[in-house]
Structure 1
Amino acid sequence: MSTNDTDRYEAAAHAMQTGVLAEMHREGVPAEHLDDRTSTGRKHLRVGVNSALVGQAAIASLLIAKGIFTIEEYTAALADEMEKEQRLYEDQLGVKLR
C-alpha cells in the first residue's frame, strides 16, 4: 500500500469511527457502552465489525474486477457460507433457526 493509500485508509477509518460514535450518541446508547478503552465497548465492537466488512468487500471487489470470479459466484459462495454458519448455531443450540 502506498503512503497515500495508507493515509487515505487511516483518514477514512478515523472518520468511520467518529461516525459510529455520533450515531450511537444519536441513538441514546448509555455512556458506559461507549467506552472504547475496553474490547467489549459497543463502539469498539462496531468499529471492528465495520472494518472487517470493509476489508472483505475490498477483497471481493478486487477479485471480481480482475475476473477471478463473478458477482454471481461470489453471492452463491456467500450464501453457502452463511448457511454453514446457520447450521453451526443450530447444532450448538439444538434448535432449527429457520
Structure 2
Amino acid sequence: MTHQDQDRYTAAMHAMQSGVAADQSGGSEDGTPKHLRVGVNSALVSVAGIGRLLIDKGVITQDEYEAAVADAMENEVRLYERRLSERLGSTVTLS
C-alpha cells in the first residue's frame, strides 16, 4: 500500500469511527460497543475493496465474488452451529 493510500485508509477509518460514535451517541439502538462496530465496518469495506479490485482487473467475475462471499457466510454459520452445539450439548441448526 502506498503512503498516500495508507493515509487515505487511516483518515477514512477515523472518519468512520467518528460516524459510529456519533450514531451511537445520537440514540442508535445497535447496542454494540464502538470498537466492535468499527471493526465490522472496516472488515466490510476491506472485503468490498478487494472484491472490486479483482473484478475490475478481470481476475474474477462478479458472480464468482458473490458465490465466494456466500460460501464464506455459510462456513461462518457452520462454525457457529458447531460452537453452539458443543456449548449446549445438543445439535443446533441455524437458518
Q: Which runs of 5+ in 2 are unaligned?
A: 85-90
What amino acid does structure 2 have at the position aligned with 1:96? T
- 1:4 match: 4
Q: Which runs of 5+ in 1 are unaligned?
A: 34-40
The change in CA–CA distance for 1:8 and 1:92 in structure 2 (over 3 A counts) is closer
| Offset, 1:19 | 0.3
| Offset, 1:91 | 2.2
Of 34, 45, 49, 2:36 maps to 45
TM-score, normalised with respect to structure 2: 0.79
- 2:93 match: 96
TM-score, normalised with respect to structure 1: 0.76
The change in CA–CA distance for 1:50 and 1:28 in structure 2 (over 3 A counts) is closer
* Structure 1, 58-67 or 84-93: larger mean CA deviation: 84-93
- 2:73 match: 82
Whole-angstrom CA distance in 2 between matches of 1:81 and 1:28? 28
Aligned CA RMSD, in angstroms, stands at 2.0
- 2:59 match: 68
Whole-angstrom CA distance in 1 between matches of 2:55 and 2:2? 22
The alignment of Structure 1 onto Structure 2 pairs a total of residues equal to 88
Report the identity percentage.
57
The change in CA–CA distance for 1:73 and 1:19 in structure 2 (over 3 A counts) is same
| Offset, 1:10 | 2.1
